[in-house]
Amino acid sequence: MLMVAIKIIVTSVMVLGLAWLSERAGPKTAGVLAGFPLGIGVSLFFIGVEQGSTFAAVASTSTIGGLGAALIFCFAYWQISKFLGGSLVHWFSYWKVRGSPVLWSAFLTSLVSFVVFLIAAGILAVLPQDRWLLTVITLIVTGLAILVFRRIDDVEADEAAAVTVTPLTLLTRAAIASAIVLVITGLADAVGEAWSGLLSGFPITLYPVLLIVHVTYSERQVHGIIKNFPFGIGSLLIFALSGSYVFESMGIYWGTAIAILLAGLYLSLIAFIMLRHRPSGS
């Protein structure tokens, strides 16, 4: 029970911190910040604590591939929410259906996107779990995502109206992320290293933000966050790649610290470049 409580507290703090930054920095910065290895860091750390550093190192290799599946999840969320955003409003009005089309859109979008993620992860699971093969695959998917997500309207990406902060929204964000971490780490022993790593690649801290913004405002702001997420994927990739080397040799505690440091340096460089290229007066 103590470990469950620790997982919930740590994950909640991480999610609420990202939510706080997202509300003040807008979708563009939030999308990049979502690339900080909070979700996979927490997941792989607790997997290492419970299953051992060797287990976590092997799982971290598979997490590299899971990041590619996470980008596919984001693509699915963008396309499905875009389709349902207008269609459900029309259907609800035409058929005089009671209920909120926005809530149904968020639910159906999440459900289908989860399935797409699992299918992508399943395909990756049958491949050799080689860190460099998975790195190449994820880099290719990242490059394609950057190109494809450029089709997201800049107006959508710049809609940064502050999200209303309420105890309910904060609790929901923390609860969703904590539940995901509990499920992934709880299943680790049963599903093995590869699937534990692939599931750890799921956007644990990003998804609650997408869901709450989707329900609170609309899919347009969600698309803005998704558009910039691939630019932060490098940080997650560096964390997972580093973890596959250092978790076993340095132990889960020092290994996690080193992996986070390296990922943070990369993300700091990306943030610096973004600030340098920000138009004056913005």
Please report whether residue 174 resides in a domain.
yes
Residue 35, helix vs strand vs coil? coil
Please tell me the pTM assigned to this model: 0.85
Nearest CA to 232 among 28, 11, 14? 28
Query: Where in the sequence is the domain holding 125, given as residue range(s)?
Result: 2-274
Q: Are 74 and 226 in contact (CB under 8 A)?
A: yes
Residue 175, helix vs strand vs coil? helix
The pair of three-digit structure tokens given for residue 280, joined into one six-digit string: 């004056």
Per-residue model confidence (pLDDT) at position 213 = 82
Please report whether residue 281 resides in a domain.
no
Any idea how long the chain is? 282
Structurally, how many domains does the chain consist of? 1
The pair of three-digit structure tokens given for residue 27, joined into one six-digit string: 């979708």
Per-residue model confidence (pLDDT) at position 282 = 46
Per-residue model confidence (pLDDT) at position 151 = 87
Per-residue model confidence (pLDDT) at position 162 = 46
Per-residue pLDDT tens, the chain, 282 aa: give them: 778 888 888 888 777 776 666 566 655 565 556 567 888 999 999 999 999 999 999 999 999 999 999 999 999 999 998 887 766 655 555 555 565 667 778 888 999 999 999 999 999 999 999 999 999 999 999 999 999 998 887 655 455 444 555 667 777 778 888 899 999 999 999 999 999 999 999 998 888 888 888 888 777 788 888 888 888 788 899 999 999 999 999 999 999 999 999 988 887 787 677 667 655 544
| Alpha-carbon gap, residue 238 to 168, rounded angstroms | 34
Per-residue model confidence (pLDDT) at position 236 = 92
Burial of 111 (C-beta count, 10 Å sphere; 0-12/13-18/19+): exposed
Please report whether residue 280 resides in a domain.
no
Please report whether residue 188 resides in a domain.
yes
Please report whether residue 107 resides in a domain.
yes
Per-residue model confidence (pLDDT) at position 183 = 93
Please report whether residue 28 resides in a domain.
yes
Please report whether residue 282 resides in a domain.
no
Please report whether residue 80 resides in a domain.
yes
* Residue located via tokens 């590619």: 68
Q: Are 10 and 39 in contact (CB under 8 A)?
A: no
Burial of 150 (C-beta count, 10 Å sphere; 0-12/13-18/19+): exposed
